[in-house]
Amino acid sequence: MALGPQRTLPMPLVAASEDVGIFGEAADVPAVFWFWGGRDRETALADFASGNVDSLPSNHSPHFAPVVEPTRTTGIQTLTLAARTWLT
């Protein structure tokens, strides 16, 4: 695993994007919908355990305020890894 277990969490089922899969199918290319955090690990784990995931502010909410690090670094690393993997 490229990011290591300290920066990865199993995601519970969440209401994400109902149309993201259509884009990949229409273009006949692989598509992926990633979550790369925004909250500190302990808060995320507590939210997952309490079942509070869908009521938390998402990236489209004016109340969404991600923790800058490691969110920025993880985003850059995952996008770079994907580009290097798929755009060889």
Phi, psi dihedral angles at 33 (to 5 degrees): -120, 110
The number of distinct structural domains making up the chain is: 1
CA distance 58 to 66: 9
Residues counted in the chain: 88
Average the pLDDT over 10-18 and give the result: 69
Whether the pLDDT of residue 11 is over 80: the answer is no
Structural domain boundaries enclosing 74: 5-86
- Listed in sequence order, the DSSP H helices in the chain are 20-27, 41-50, 68-86
Q: Give the pLDDT confidence of 59-86 residue by residue, as tens digits.
A: 778 888 888 988 898 889 988 998 998 8
Count Cα neighbours of 69 within 13 Å in the Cβ-side half-sphere: 1
What's the pLDDT tens digit per position in 30-58? Answer: 887 777 778 777 887 888 888 877 777 77
The answer to whether residue 10 scores a pLDDT higher than 70 is: yes
Q: Considering Cα of 68, then 69, then 70, then 74, what sign does the dihedral take?
A: positive
